[in-house]
A and B are shown apart, each in its own frame.
Chain A
Amino acid sequence: MLSSLVLFAVLQGTPARDDGEWRMPGRDYAATRYSGLASITASNVQRLRPVWSFSTGVLGGHEGQPLVVDKTMYVVTPFPNVLYAFDLTQEGYPLRFKYRPDVNPTAVGIACCDVINRGAVYADGRIVYNLLDGHTVAVDAVTGKELWKTKIADLGEGETTPMAPFVAGNRVIVGPSGGEFGIYGWVKALDLATGRIVWTAHNMGPDSLMLVRPGTFKGGANVGLTTWAGESWQRGGAPVWGWISYDAELDLIYFGVGNPGPYNPEQRPGENKWTNSVLARRPGDGALVWAYQFTPHDSWDYDSNAEMILADLTIRGRRRKVLVHFDKNGFAYTLDRATGEVLVAEPFTNVTWAKRIDVASGLPVVDSTKVTGASRGNIEGICPSLEGGKSPASPSAYSPQTGLFYTATNNLCMSYQAAPVSRIAGTPFIGASTPYSAGPGGYMGAFIAWDAARGRKIWEIREKFPVWSGAVVTAGNVVFYGTLDGWFKAADATSGRELWKFKVGSGVVGAPITYRGPDGRQYVAVYSGIGGDWFLLSGDVRSDDPADVRPPADFAKDLARHTSQGGMVWIFGL
């Protein structure tokens, strides 16, 4: 067991690390969210019980995950982005420090979909995370002292920064939200030691701004211009707010790019590269090495910001270094991560916008009756909805032990009425009305296990509401996830049998982690605190704003019966 784990770590290009800690959002460079800890197993998880909880005092959606480094747990809240550091060696886990940054409250009106934060990363003695208002900060992990603060994004252009940064070597990689504000999307690399911006790479536009260099990128010249009409690329969206992974051997970072703006596709003819794409760049200088577009000329808001999990799989008899991605468009993709070649692309949920993905060309076979546009009226029966067949906010997990991927999914469809819109910088730029309905079967979500080598669903646990939580899977062969109505659950990673559940204080939109405490025992931690799109759609009363009383969305009328807002951190142990 131990030797296979070590081999796995080497294969993934991950520095050898103690499984007892959780230093970055995806746990390792490959973003597997897999832990080698095995004290909690399918046969004893029934005895799991809460050992500690903490109210963050914040009502916004608690996406992301805590970190555990050197006997300390770090928690970043949604706006106002407070950083808590808890001492895990003492009873009651008292605070080591609390860092309360100065965050511009103007950002609240520029965040498209709640004031969430997706977490921090630990590197070289510092906790690095993004403030909502377009700044990245590095805080000393021991003292809580701010080491540097760098402005990376422009609120005036509609950019906010809820993304969790990623660290590859001495580069801190960050990107903006703003796909609903007509931003000109980018990623930046900051120097970990000083916070200085080392390079900025745009996701479209001329090769010079995309850091496309002759000889390095083989996908053609200036496709970031030629796949757009006129200057529409300048306000074409392409945000980067999801998760990043890194193959140290190939020296490539992988990240997903979000939707083109506006939602009315008739205002931006062309394929709109590289929106809704995965990009592979060199972390050192930002050079683009390859890119692949999942949804060309998106007319459904199918962002591709979901994680790119790196694994080595046997596909049609051949061992391949792959990247696995569950896209909002409802297809799960297995790509060769050295070249971007599509190896497998199959639907993991109900899909109507495309009949299939043509693996040879990499292009979707689109159902032309589902294409939207202001001149085409109200298009009905589009599945998945723009919440995604799976939300990028709910990162999946991969177990090298079972060879399976585990992910939250949504079973929702939508109608889509596009409209012409104008852009005023710093305000929304959308142009579509998109009411949702439950997909076939009437259940709105499921937690599934997926065989990415064959493109097959292995098992699923259906849930009444959309499933919006991340996943963690362990060497104990247990997988954990949470539900919008506030259950935190454990299932057998092989069979999908539900083994345990506990009702936490609010709906779960965060991602669980597991770690070894200073006492040598294995613990599991998760945030509760419904938010993101779901409180906005299905909440009824905000306790901080008594004037905000709204009828719940008609497709999820009773979610507010089961949960209210309120952020908490939960720790469970045997």
Chain B
Amino acid sequence: MDLRPVAALLVVAACGRSAGGPPPSVRYAAHVSAGGTLPAAGELKNPFADSASVKQGAQLFVAMNCDGCHGGGATGWVGPSLVDGRWRYGGEDGAVFQSIYYGRPRGMPAYGGILSDGVIWKIVAYIRAQPVPAVVPTQSW
């Protein structure tokens, strides 16, 4: 791994929940609960949701090559758009964090243990701060 070009960013983002341990389980509002009982799980909250973190998250999104798959401005490339308001695996803080931490099928790598929790949270902060269009145009050119 060659992290030199963005070492300063990574140092800034390294604080927060200690790296290495898995995050607590997450309850997904969109998932079906068996027997009508909600699973014993909680909610993850982003400790880095301030505007400075959003700005650093934007830089990290480029520096760690998130745009290599999700496109400049996260508008989609081989990976899906992250700014269209449509989510396969949930769009809440904890769900987006877990998508980055554990990866997802069909191409999303698992960055947990490679990027610190703080770095991941700042990227989550950037993604969650993007304006979502009320309607994604699908019929007008």
Contact = CB atoms under 8 A, between A and B. Distances in A.
A427 B111 CA distance: 10
B6 interface: yes
B65 interface: yes
A547 B63 contact: no
Interface in B1-58: 1-6
Interface string B99-141: 0000001111101001000000000000000000000111001
A427 B5 contact: no
Interface stretch (A90-98, A415-423, A505-513): A415-423
Contact of A109 (B88, B107, B111): B107
Nearest to B89: A547
Contact of B141 (A428, A547, A552): A552
A430 B137 CA distance: 29
A47 interface: no
B58 to A, nearest CB: 11
A549 B86 contact: yes
B63 A108 contact: no
A548 interface: yes
Contact of B5 (A421, A426, A561): A421
A545 B72 CA distance: 21
Nearest to A419: B62
A105 B80 CA distance: 17
Given A423-B1, A545-B80, A547-B87, A109 B65 contact: no
Nearest to B5: A420
Contacts of B6: 420-422
A551 interface: yes
A428 B65 contact: yes
A357 interface: no
Contact of B81 (A421, A424, A433, A548): A548
A114 interface: yes
Contacts of A536: 76-78
A173 interface: no
A235 B2 contact: yes
Interface string A507-550: 00000000000000000000000000000100011000101111
B80 A429 contact: no
Nearest to B139: A540
Interface string A71-103: 000000000000000000000000000000000
B107 A108 contact: yes
B99 to A, nearest CB: 13
B68 A429 contact: yes
Contact of A421 (B65, B79, B114, B138): B65
A547 B88 CA distance: 7
Contact of B72 (A112, A113, A235, A433): A433
Q: How large is the interface on A (under 10, 10 to 19, 20 to 34, 35 or more residues)?
A: 35 or more
Contact of A550 (B67, B72, B136): B136
B107 A422 contact: no
Contact of A424 (B1, B5, B84, B136): B1
A424 B114 contact: yes
Given A422-B4, A428-B69, A560-B141, A109 B108 contact: yes
A106 B104 CA distance: 10
B72 A435 contact: yes
B3 to A, nearest CB: 5
A427 B86 CA distance: 24
Given A427-B109, A560-B141, A422 B63 contact: yes
Nearest to A181: B68
A568 interface: no
A550 B62 contact: no
Nearest to B6: A422
B63 A557 contact: no
A111 interface: yes
A419 B76 contact: no
A427 B2 contact: no
A549 B75 CA distance: 10
A110 interface: yes
B106 A561 contact: no
Contact of B78 (A112, A420, A431): A112
Interface string A403-427: 0000000000000000111111111
A139 B75 CA distance: 40
A550 B84 contact: yes
A424 B72 CA distance: 19
Nearest to B7: A422
Interface in A427-469: 427-431, 433-435
A431 B77 CA distance: 15
Contacts of A421: 5-6, 62-65
B133 to A, nearest CB: 8
Given A422-B3, A424-B64, A549 B136 contact: yes
B62 to A, nearest CB: 5
Interface in A99-154: 105-106, 108-114
A558 B72 CA distance: 21
Contacts of B114: 424
B106 A428 contact: no
A346 interface: no
A28 interface: no
Interface of A: 105-106, 108-114, 180, 235, 267, 419-431, 433-435, 536, 540-541, 545, 547-552, 557-558, 560-561
29 contacts: A109-B109, A111-B78, A112-B68, A114-B78, A180-B68, A419-B62, A422-B3, A422-B65, A423-B1, A423-B65, A424-B65, A425-B1, A427-B65, A427-B109, A428-B65, A428-B69, A429-B68, A430-B67, A430-B68, A431-B65, A548-B80, A548-B81, A548-B86, A549-B81, A550-B81, A551-B84, A551-B136, A552-B141, A561-B141
Given A427-B109, A431-B65, A435-B72, 9 more contacts: A109-B79, A109-B109, A112-B68, A235-B2, A422-B3, A422-B64, A431-B62, A548-B80, A557-B141
CB-CB nearest 5 A-B residue pairs:
A109-B107, A428-B68, A420-B5, A428-B65, A558-B141
